[in-house]
Structure 1
């Protein structure tokens, strides 16, 4: 069974009506492939002002948005789980 590590960041002033962290964890556990050993996901819920700022900075759009996603960028020298697994494959495999 896979393990999904959740980093939930609530960066908005009004958290009224937001699901509990356990609900986010259930959603992640339901969608992450079971063959994957371990995954890490950060979810950051922000207010309109931060959404606007991020959208302008990363997409050049001068307005708020409802969703932004960013790929993982490994720091220099960090080997991902996929890279470590490939070390055990035969050449060409």
Structure 2
């Protein structure tokens, strides 16, 4: 304990006071995180950034490069060789 809290181990600070200091530090940290998140959220909602409409909000091609459509296989099945299935099972 002396390595982590030397003042508590030496008796300069009581353990309960150290706990209060840590609780206050946690509250301050969470307060800064909440305030920072709110500020960034309001900035990103500004119309300058041109958010897409709700109808196309979940369309991946707006944000990423996506591959083309898959070709239809017309119900055709292809045989799988046993060596390939053995590789998958191992």
TM-score bucket of the superposed structures, by smaller chain: under 0.3
Higher normalized contact order (CA 8 Å, seq sep 6+, divided by chain length)? 1
TM-score under structure 2 normalisation?
0.22
Larger radius of gyration: 2
Question: Which structure carries more helix by proportion?
Answer: 2
